[in-house]
Amino acid sequence: MMGDNSRFEVRYGMLLNAIPSSVLIIDRQLQVLSVNENFLSKSQRSKESTVGRLLADVFPLVILQSTGIEENIRNVFNSGVAIKGQKMTYRAPGVPLRIYYYSILPVPNDQIMLIMEDVTEQVRLSEEVRRVERHLASVVESASDIVLSTDINGCILTWNSAAEKQTGLTTQDVHGVFFYDLCDANQKQAVRQIFQRMKAGNEPHTTEFDLLTPGKGGSILISWVFSPMLDDYGKTVGTVVVGRDLAERRKLELQLRQSQKLTALGVMAGGIAHEIRNPLAVCSSAAQFLLEDNVSADFLKECMRKIQTNIQKASAIIENLLRFARSSLDTDMSEVNLNNVLKETIELVTNQAKVQKIQIQLSIQKPVILVTGVSGLLQQVFMNICLNAINAMPEGGLLNITVNTIEDRVIVRVTDTGVGIPPGELEKIFDPFHTSSPVGQGTGLGLSICYSIIRQHLGSIQAESRLDQGATIVVTLPLL
């Protein structure tokens, strides 16, 4: 039968081997009495060459000298107080350097237990994390775009160097400030709603609005991308906001808008010329009767009335045309009745629609729908959309415009019964210079400009279509 001591040694050895750290049992002479398999594996030593040997024969001299481990063991024997959390490095022959934290614990029978926890991987990962963090911080600080982060409510947490440079505000100035408090007063509510929507969903949001620059005075127009910051469980805990100064881009777009207006005016010219020719013909005929002799007084009054009526009709057509053609240099946001914008747009395209045998229907949910924006720019958006729809119906058809409000937004749907948009082209129609028109008949800038204008108004624009079944352009804008 196995003796009690033998059974104890077996159980004791099994207990040591169950410990995931390296363990050595040492007596007062610093002789190793027992070790576990973890230590033998990590040090690449055999049990025979370790047990019964002095600590100086087991550990390289350089380790003993650099860590003072022998002195620490003696102190624990003398004081009976454990020593924990000491760092040491160990390199066995042919094995990469390992990093340990060791503890020295007094145990019964006048022995101590040396426990060595291998933290090499944890240290490596920690260093890798710090390296990545330094790299990301460098990227953010080196970026020429504004990069900031906020909490779930929109309170600013971080603010990079580009943001400081462009606004004149330091990180200390904005820390704890709500981001929408740095926006123009007319746009503050719309920006606040963006953060409300970020709480409810995980989708990024793009828009354009002015950022105040108290450190410099005034404001700058910025293109913004709001992206949710998620925790390990996919829950939104904050927002990352990236902004790019649009000053130079806006100057170019203004020139493109004017160019696009001229293109639109050319498209409308045929229909408008036809519409003006009719009242002019009536005026000409009436004037000829006025020149004749022996005309009754009642007939003279009737001729003059027709001349006056048709001159007013022609004048109204020209006034609408001039209102659209007038340069939109003033881009200050103000209160706009979207219904009036749509009605004026329809008046401008009605003549062209008649020429091409197209019927226009307008369905408005409310008599007054107010948004914040620039009336001329919004009219240009819907003018381009309507003209594209008319061009898509060369054989005639129906142009249906519906306006509905949902919560804090207004949705305008412009639907035609034309040729539709091929599936491969649908995602490209808002790209600059993308056009399906023959060479010389389109610049490909119309919908690209529409996209830019709608973003400037904190809205969105999308396209839906089925080939040979027509297309729908959906414009969404925040309500005032």
Flag whether pLDDT at 67 surpasses 80.
yes
CA atoms within 13 A on the CB side of 88: 27
More confident position, 138 or 432 = 138
Flag whether pLDDT at 356 surpasses 50.
yes
Flag whether pLDDT at 444 surpasses 50.
no
Instruction: Provide the token pair at 284.
Output: 């000409």
36-to-24, 107, 392 alpha-carbon distances in Å? 7, 16, 82
**Average pLDDT of 332-361?**
87
Angle between helix 297-325 and helix 247-291 axes, rounded to 10 deg? 170
C-alpha–C-alpha distance, residues 216 and 194, integer Å: 26
Nearest to 340 by CA among 368, 310, 381: 368
362 Cα distance to chain centroid: 34
C-alpha–C-alpha distance, residues 198 and 249, integer Å: 28
- pLDDT at residue 416, as a whole number: 92
pLDDT in tens, 384-408: 888 888 888 888 899 999 999 988 8
**Average pLDDT of 295-319?**
79
C-alpha–C-alpha distance, residues 385 and 412, integer Å: 11
More confident position, 107 or 450 = 107
* pLDDT > 70: percent of the chain: 82
Q: What is the DSSP string of 370-384?
A: EEEE-HHHHHHHHHH
End-to-end CA distance of the chain: 93
C-alpha–C-alpha distance, residues 384 and 377, integer Å: 11
- pLDDT at residue 320, as a whole number: 56
CA dihedral 338, 342, 343, 345 (to 10 degrees): 140
More confident position, 378 or 92 = 378
- pLDDT at residue 327, as a whole number: 41
**Average pLDDT of 175-198?**
86
> Which segment of 162-171, 197-206, 412-421 scores lowest on mean pLDDT?
197-206
Backbone angles phi, psi at 194, to 5 degrees: -60, -45
- pLDDT at residue 226, as a whole number: 92
Most trustworthy range by pLDDT among 203-207, 262-266, 313-317, 366-370: 366-370
Q: Which domains does the chain have, with CATH numbers?
A: 4-122 (3.30.450.20), 143-245 (3.30.450.20), 250-478 (3.30.565.10)
> Which segment of 28-32, 75-79, 84-88, 432-436 scores lowest on mean pLDDT?
432-436
**Average pLDDT of 428-450?**
56
Sequence-ordered alpha helix ranges (H) in 93-170: 120-142, 161-167
Indicate the pLDDT class of residue 441, thresholds 50, 70 and 90.
very low
Task: Yes or no: say if 186 and 333 are a contact pair by the CB < 8 Å rule.
Answer: yes
Most trustworthy range by pLDDT among 245-249, 428-432, 436-440: 245-249
DSSP reduced 3-state for 314: helix
C-alpha–C-alpha distance, residues 41 and 24, integer Å: 13
Indicate the pLDDT class of residue 313, thresholds 50, 70 and 90.
confident
C-alpha–C-alpha distance, residues 301 and 452, integer Å: 53
> What's this model's pTM, rounded to 2 decimal places?
0.42
Indicate the pLDDT class of residue 248, thresholds 50, 70 and 90.
low
Indicate the pLDDT class of residue 443, thresholds 50, 70 and 90.
very low
Backbone angles phi, psi at 435, to 5 degrees: -150, 145
- pLDDT at residue 28, as a whole number: 92
Flag whether pLDDT at 286 surpasses 90.
no
C-alpha–C-alpha distance, residues 187 and 209, integer Å: 7
Sequence-ordered alpha helix ranges (H) in 292-337: 297-325
- pLDDT at residue 266, as a whole number: 60
- pLDDT at residue 425, as a whole number: 73
Indicate the average pLDDT of the chain: 80
Taking residue 474's Cβ as centre, other Cβ atoms within 10 Å add up to: 14
Backbone angles phi, psi at 212, to 5 degrees: -70, 145
> Which segment of 10-19, 51-60, 446-455 scores lowest on mean pLDDT?
10-19
